[in-house]
Structure 1
C-alpha cells in the first residue's frame, strides 16, 4: 500500500546496488553529522571553527574563500559537464541538470563577490564537504539518466519543483546578501543579523537552501534525490541549532524568540 502510493510520486528505484547503497549511506551519514553538529562537534568552517583551540590550530587550514571555492567547484563542473555531454531532449532531465548547475554556480558567485569570509576552514572539512556535494550531484544526474526509459510517475511534480527551487535559491541569495552587508570593509567581528526572516530565525539561508533542495527532488522525483534532500535537511537542522547556540554564547542581547531554522517552531 505504502509502496504503491509512493510510486505515484516517484520513479521505481534503479537496479543499481551502488545507487541504493549511496542513498542509505547519504541519509545515515548526514543524519549523524547533523546530530554531531547539535552536540557541538561541528564541521570546522565559518563561525563554528575552533579558532582558539591549540590542538585544532595545528590542523591544516585554508582561507574561507579558497575553501568554499574548492567545496562548490567539483559539483558545479559535474552539472555543467552533464549539460554539455548529454542531449537536451528530455525536459525533466534537463531541468534537473540545470538546477544543480545553477545552484552551485550561484554559490561560487556568492563566494567570489558577495560573502565577506573572515574565518579559516580546515582542509579536512573542505575535502569532506566537496566530495559529498560532488558525489551527490553526479549520482542524482546518473540516477535521472537511468529513468529515461521508464514510465514517469503518475503525479508530475517537476513544475512544482521548479517553483520551489526558484523560491529557495532566491531566498537563500537574499539572506546571504543581508549577511554580507552586516560588516563594513575591513571589519571582521560578527554581528546579530537583521532584516528578512532573521527577525524570526537565525538561519533563514539554511531554510531556503532546504526548500531549494526539495525543489530539486520534486523536479527529479527519484528516491535518490529525496534521500539527498532528507540528508541536507538533517544536517542543516543540526548546523542551525549549533549556530543559534553560538550566537547565544557571544551576544547577551540575542533575542530569545528567534529560532534556529523554522519560524516559531525550531
Structure 2
C-alpha cells in the first residue's frame, strides 16, 4: 500500500486536510458507479432514448412531472456552468493571483458546460420529455462535481501542498481539447440523423437510426468515450484526488449507460453491426 501511495504522489497532490473533500472523493465514485450499475439492471435515468422507459420504477408513478427535453437538458448543465464561471470571474479578488492550474481547471469546466448549453440550444434536435426526477439528481450531480472540483483545487493551493513530482497539466489540457472536440463532432453526427428542424415541426422524424461516421463505425457511444477523455483531461490538469475520482466515477457510469444503449440498438435493429462495441473499440 505504501508503494502505491508513493507512486500516486508522483502524479497527484496529497489530499488537502479536509474531511469533506476526502469523503466526497469516495462518495462521487460510489454514487456514479451506483447509477451505472442501475442502468445495467434496467433502472434508467429517464432522458434521451430511455426517457419513456417503463423499466424504471419511477416510471410507474405519476407523481412526478416532465419537462420538454430541451428545457430539461438546459437545466442539467446551467447550474454547473454558473458555478464554474462564477469562480473564474468573481472569486479571485483580494488575495494572491490564482495559479495557472486553478485557472485551467475553472476554464475547462466552464467550457465543458458552455459547450453543452450551446449544443442544447442550437445543435441537438429533441422529441419527447425529460422526467423531473431524473433532471434534478443529474443537475445536482453536475453542480456539486463542478463546485467541489474547484473547491478541492483551491484548498490544495491554500494549504500550500507541494506540487506532484510530475506536472501533467499541459498533457491534461491537450487531452481535454481532444475530448471536447471528439464529443462535439459525434454529437454533430447524431444531430444529422433527424430531419426535423425543431420540436414544433409537423414533419418531425422521431425514429432512431443507427449512427454512422466517425467512431460510430467502432462503438455506439463515441460521444461518451470522448466525454470520459475530457474528464480525464481535467483530472490531469487538476492532479487532485477528487478530480481523478470524478473521472473514474464518470467512466463507471458511462460504461453502464453505453452497455444498455448498445443493447437497445440490438433490440431495435436486426442489421445492427455485431462488431460495433458499446464504448471502447474492440474491447467493450
Fold equivalence (TM over 0.5): yes
Output the TM-score relative to the length of structure 2.
0.91
The partner residue of 2:100 within 73, 91, 96 is: 91
Q: Counterpart of 2:178?
A: 167
Point out the more displaced range, 204-213 or 82-91: 82-91
Query: 1-side partners of 2:133 and 2:240: how far apart?
Result: 31
Partner SS, residue 147 of structure 1: helix
Query: 2-side partners of 1:57 and 1:169: how far apart?
Result: 37
The partner residue of 2:132 within 112, 116, 123 is: 123
The partner residue of 2:73 within 56, 68, 73 is: 68
Q: Counterpart of 2:200?
A: none
2:260 is aligned with 1:242: yes
Contact 2:15 2:156 in 1 (8 A): no
Contact 1:19 1:224 in 2 (8 A): yes
Q: Summarize the Cα distance change of 1:205–1:154 in structure 2 as closer, same or farther, 3 Å threshold.
A: same
Point out the more displaced range, 184-193 or 157-166: 184-193
Query: 2-side partners of 1:50 and 1:59: how far apart?
Result: 13
Unmatched segments (≥5 aa) in structure 1: none
Query: 2-side partners of 1:52 and 1:9: how far apart?
Result: 44
Query: 1-side partners of 2:54 and 2:205: how far apart?
Result: 19
Unmatched segments (≥5 aa) in structure 2: 197-203
Query: 2-side partners of 1:237 and 1:220: how far apart?
Result: 23
Superposition deviation, residue 52 in structure 1? 6.1
Query: 1-side partners of 2:214 and 2:223: how far apart?
Result: 10
Deviations 1:204-242 (A, max 9, x none): 000000000000000000000001001100000000001
Deviations 1:121-165 (A, max 9, x none): 110110000000000100000000012122211100000000000
Q: Summarize the Cα distance change of 1:191–1:126 in structure 2 as closer, same or farther, 3 Å threshold.
A: same
Partner SS, residue 10 of structure 2: coil
- 1:40-189 equivalences under 5 Å are 40-50=42-52, 55=60, 59-87=64-92, 89-148=98-157, 149-185=160-196, 186-189=204-207
| RMSD between aligned residues | 1.3
The partner residue of 1:207 within 225, 228, 236 is: 225
Alignment: residue pair count: 266
The partner residue of 1:24 within 13, 23, 26 is: 26
Contact 1:136 1:228 in 2 (8 A): yes
Superposition deviation, residue 85 in structure 1? 1.9
Query: 2-side partners of 1:20 and 1:129: how far apart?
Result: 22
